[in-house]
Copies of this chain bind each other. A is one copy, B any other.
């Protein structure tokens, strides 16, 4: 069993979805693990991980629209010191994911045909986000 760990820095442009599938796939390819597990961990409390449709961009528009209504910035929050978009960002993060695990088979992530990996930025401002990628597994069936 081998393992690899790296820190990925992703710039976000305010509220948006950043497709990081290709970046994660490149790390998986580079480490040479044939069969294993790729764990993703986002080091933030107002941005989250989403595994969702990679085909029609309208899905992401509808997702953002739904979340905007479910956790409105006009809500009554006590925690307002960091801006009106901060507390909604925390709640949206809790309702989505901070860590995900995707198995690796034949050297590739076993993502479904329609699955892409996204960082969902919940703050209005641009941010530099940090994602830790931890991979463990075997380099070949015999190693």
Contacts and interface: CB of A to CB of B under 8 A. Distances in A.
Interface of A: 1, 3, 5, 7, 35-37, 39, 41, 43-45, 50-53, 56, 58-59, 61-63, 66, 70-71, 75, 77-79, 81, 87, 90-91, 93-103, 105, 110-112, 114-115, 130, 132, 134, 136-138
A81 B1 CA distance: 45
Given A1-B1, A45-B52, 18 more contacts: A1-B3, A3-B36, A5-B35, A5-B103, A43-B110, A44-B112, A44-B114, A45-B114, A50-B94, A53-B90, A56-B79, A61-B78, A62-B77, A95-B95, A95-B96, A97-B97, A99-B100, A136-B136
B3 A35 contact: yes
Nearest to A120: B94
B99 A98 contact: no
A116 to B, nearest CB: 9
Given A1-B136, A35-B5, A90 B59 contact: yes
Contacts of A78: 58, 61-62
A1 B136 CA distance: 10
User: How many copies of this kind of chain does the complex include?
Assistant: 3
B96 A99 contact: no
B96 A98 contact: no
A56 B66 CA distance: 27
A141 to B, nearest CB: 11
